Structure 1
């Protein structure tokens, strides 16, 4: 598998999606096409779609909805003309009856006519805005991604969906933490302001080394604070809570790449 420019930074979203389809790009997308909106993916059966949309509406900081497909349609034209959600994400996690069943490179062979896809705002998009605002993101400088954690903070339940809030963490100096809070607070479509700063134990995180998914920057320097934002991975735990017979999400940091510029979505 090749990655033509290292991380796709200088490619268009359409170009990266084409490479993903051709199995020529398989890395995390946090630096890919950084001027464009990326999103979390959640695919559920049609009989659970309205409940899940209600869960998003009840938890907009974690799950700011960017688009919803029609049943059986793997496209959301409002986000990209040639986007095919069956093949254009680098990796997918398949859940059956509330358990992880498989991680696969595409879902064309398990796609069904009753499936509805949701694309949810992603912190990768506000990271672009933070960097433009002068915030240093050490995990990006080190070629990493932000770590995620399961908290003891509850979500607002809707129907079968509920469970704890998942957060993403960035290691920031106090000055950058203030700047990042002010900048992100103006971006509700990309998770808005942090939900917590410092003292991870207060939100149920006992060990920063124990991240959700096992990946991401998990260490702090002496001059850094952990800053936590609500995360779209909350949808994955909600699906487990609902014990849906079948659903699909993106895997880890392999996000949906849209053709919408960040400025189009930003508040």
Structure 2
């Protein structure tokens, strides 16, 4: 059971509820989280600047502050449903509360999430299969290399939504109105063009049904910084668990061009 108000959703996650946030608080934007030590923050922000499709920055915290203007009163250490703790490129823990791992030198970067435009897709008549099936969105590491920045490099990650072929142009137009949360798809059709060999085996999230009449549509994904952490192996980072976002107080319409 989901809730309609962002603060209520965050309160449930703070109390220990752990589940993907797709469909929660419809009408409100969601955000990916990546937090790194201050001495890596410039490289992370440069990586985001050089790779704006997968890494559209919505906010950056003060050093050590687990807060964001996207959700006043929220705590970035507790108010997402699940976090991943990274050491030297390895996920050493997945937790529902990151307080014990938070450091005074961390800079938190909030990155746009494609969950934000899913309500607009539904309103336009485009089905969203992972919502229909109660699953996390499927996400895949691709063979497309991001532009490196300092000590960070890695592949682009994409999310995939199967779209009935006649509705693909609508999905492109609707999502394209939201460039701050990934915008239009980066690829439509053959997964092999992105180096994806099996749609039924996503790297993150859950597989969903792809009907014969569907076309796989791929959007750049805010899990890309986690792929960069895995490839570049910095000493420490904290991220959201894929699909387990910060539900913000910002209306999704605020990001519609």
TM-score normalized by structure 2? 0.97
> Does 2:237 match 1:244?
no
- For residues 121-176 of structure 1, what are the alpha-carbon distances to aligned partners after superposition, in whole Å with 9 as ceiling and x for unaligned? 00100111111222111221222232101110111111111111110000111122
Q: What number of residue pairs does the alignment pair up?
A: 257
What is the aligned partner in structure 2 of residue 7 from structure 1? 2
Give the equivalent residue in structure 2 for 1:232. Answer: 222
Show the counterpart of 2:188: 197
TM-score normalised to structure 1 length: 0.93
The answer to whether residue 58 in structure 2 is matched with residue 66 in structure 1 is yes
Partner of 1:210: 201
Q: Which residue is equivalent to 1:112?
A: 103
Is the 1:136–1:176 contact (alpha carbons within 8 Å) kept by the matching residues of 2? no
Q: Counterparts of 2:226 and 2:243 in 1: how far apart (Å)?
A: 13
Q: What is the aligned partner in structure 2 of residue 40 from structure 1?
A: 32
User: What is the aligned partner in structure 2 of residue 18 from structure 1?
Assistant: 11
Q: How far off is 1:265 after superposition?
A: 2.2
4+ aligned runs moved over 3 Å, structure 1: none
How far apart are 1:94 and its partner, in Å? 0.4
Q: How many angstroms does 1:180 deviate by?
A: 0.4
Match of 2:139 in 1: 148
2:42 corresponds to which residue?
Answer: 50
- CA contact 1:160–1:241 (8 Å) conserved in 2: no
Contact 2:201/2:207 (CA < 8 Å) preserved in 1?
no
Q: Is the 8 A contact 1:165 1:230 kept in 2?
A: yes
Tell me by how many angstroms 1:224 deviates. Answer: 0.5
Q: CA RMSD in A?
A: 1.1
Deviation sequence 1:217-252 (CA, Å, 0-9, x none): 333111001101110111101112221101010012
Structure 1 residue 263: deviation in Å? 1.1
Asked if the contact 2:129–2:208 (Cα under 8 Å) also holds between the matched residues in 1, the reply is no
Counterparts in 2 of 1:77-156, with a 5 A limit? 78-156=69-147
> SS of the counterpart of 1:180?
helix
Corresponding residue for residue 157 of structure 2: 166
Q: Which secondary structure state, in structure 2, belongs to the residue aligned with residue 260 of structure 1?
A: strand
Residues 92 and 249 of structure 1 are in contact (CA less than 8 Å); yes or no, is this contact kept in structure 2? yes
Q: Please tell me whether the aligned partners of residues 7 and 27 of structure 1 are also in contact (alpha carbons under 8 angstroms).
A: no
SS in 2 for 1:54: helix
Unaligned residue ranges in structure 1 (runs of 5+): 1-5
Which ranges in structure 2 are unaligned for 5 or more consecutive residues? none
